[in-house]
Amino acid sequence: MLKFSICCKLPLFICIISIVSFSYCGTQNYSPKFRVIAFYSEKNDMAHISFDHEANKWFPKMAPKNHFTYDSTNDWNNMNTKFLSKYDVVIFLDTRPDSLAQRLAFQKYMEHGGAWMGFHFAAFSLTPSAYPQNWDWYHETFLGAGQYVSNTWRPTSAILRVEDRSHPVTKGLPETFKSAPNEWYRWENDLSKNPSIKILLSIDSTSFPLGTGPKLYEIWHSDYFPVVWTNVNFKMVYFNMGHNDMDYEHKFDNTNKTLSHTFGNEIQDKIIINALFWLGSKGKK
């Protein structure tokens, strides 16, 4: 389903056709500075589904305040050159495109000046799994992280350190701040040794021990963990955030109750908006 915000100052019968084609017909009384399209799958993990629902409510609220448009779709067949040409920024709320045609369309979009923001599971790959590492350009060249290795558990807040306070994404941020609860990922590749990767935020040492277990390896006690970064060869930002805490103890009761939120953290929200404005700008990478 594709969700659009469009202006219905049209004859009634045309507006009715628009309602049939799109999920809702809103009023846009501002001139957008840039246009955003978010792709999502909304499958399997209830924490990722919770985040998708939250994001698809939060971004439309932010759009008129910050003069951009926000559309979303769970139809990955829209990942094609014609469709992407309508947008300045592409967001992956979860997962990634699977077919070769979709992947080539996204790579072409990015290599020709497109902009991208990804959250949490959008970078996940693990062989063998339902999401194997079978896309070297995306996981090795573009993201630089390689495969997923491990994660903290349970989803908890962390103290994050701003690594580069001069970057537009981190403008106006304090040196450190407390994040929203999240499941934090460890990666196969050392991003700090990749000259194409600029790390913007990392987990501060005051966060350790990070995680509550119950398994000991789910609690981190030391090491260096980047959580937000960009690739200097593309206009892109990856956020490791995007996994809400859920009522896992009663998951078989089908309550799916969300216990934490990714959005609503003032500083974390500011980073995301900063990133959107930087990605949506018409300047250089």
Confidence of residue 283 (pLDDT cuts 50, 70, 90): low
d(CA 56, CA 90): 14
Output the average pLDDT for the chain.
90
Question: Within a domain: residue 71?
Answer: yes
Q: Does the pLDDT value for residue 20 go beyond 60? A: no
Question: Within a domain: residue 239?
Answer: yes
Question: Within a domain: residue 158?
Answer: yes
Question: Within a domain: residue 105?
Answer: yes
Confidence of residue 282 (pLDDT cuts 50, 70, 90): confident
Question: Within a domain: residue 200?
Answer: yes
Instruction: Supply the pLDDT for residue 31.
Output: 85
- Same-domain check for residues 58 and 23: no
Q: Tell me the mean pLDDT in the region 18-44.
A: 68
- Same-domain check for residues 107 and 198: yes
Percentage of the chain surpassing pLDDT 90?
83
- Same-domain check for residues 126 and 68: yes
- Same-domain check for residues 101 and 207: yes
- Same-domain check for residues 207 and 249: yes
- Same-domain check for residues 83 and 151: yes
For every residue of the chain, DSSP letters joined together read -EE------S-HHHHHHHHHHSS------S--SEEEEEE----S-HHHHHHHHHHHHHHHHHHHHHTEEEEEES-GGG-SHHHHTT-SEEEESSS---SHHHHHHHHHHHHTT-EEEEEGGGG---SSSSS-S--HIIIIIIS---SEEEE-SS-B--EEEES-TTSGGGTT--SEEEPPPBPPEEESS-GGG-TTEEEEEEE-GGG-SB---SSGGGSB-SS--EEEEEETTSEEEEES-----B-GGGGGGT---B---SS--HHHHHHHHHHHHHHHSSS--
Domain assignment of residue 18, given as a range: 1-29
Q: What are the pLDDT digits (tens) for 192-246? A: 999 999 999 999 999 999 999 999 999 999 999 999 999 999 999 999 999 999 9
Q: Does the pLDDT value for residue 16 go beyond 90? A: no
Instruction: Supply the pLDDT for residue 130.
Output: 94
Number of domains present in the structure of the chain: 2
Which pair of tokens denotes residue 230?
């960009």
Instruction: Supply the pLDDT for residue 151.
Output: 98
DSSP state of 178: E
- Same-domain check for residues 18 and 52: no
Question: Within a domain: residue 108?
Answer: yes
- Same-domain check for residues 15 and 100: no
Question: Within a domain: residue 285?
Answer: no
Q: Tell me the mean pLDDT in the region 157-164.
A: 98
- Same-domain check for residues 22 and 35: no
Rounded to two decimals, the pTM is: 0.89
Q: Tell me the mean pLDDT in the region 168-187.
A: 97
d(CA 96, CA 120): 11
Question: Within a domain: residue 58?
Answer: yes
- Same-domain check for residues 165 and 88: yes
Q: Does the pLDDT value for residue 129 go beyond 80? A: yes
Q: What CATH number did the domain enclosing 217 receive? A: 3.40.50.880
- Same-domain check for residues 85 and 184: yes
Confidence of residue 248 (pLDDT cuts 50, 70, 90): confident
Instruction: Supply the pLDDT for residue 211.
Output: 97
- Same-domain check for residues 109 and 231: yes
Instruction: Supply the pLDDT for residue 29.
Output: 66
For residue 34, list its beta bridge partners. 68
Q: Tell me the mean pLDDT in the region 49-75.
A: 97
Backbone dihedral angles phi then psi of residue 119, each to the nearest 5 degrees: -120, 135
Confidence of residue 43 (pLDDT cuts 50, 70, 90): confident
The count of other CB atoms within 10 Å of the CB of residue 110 is 22
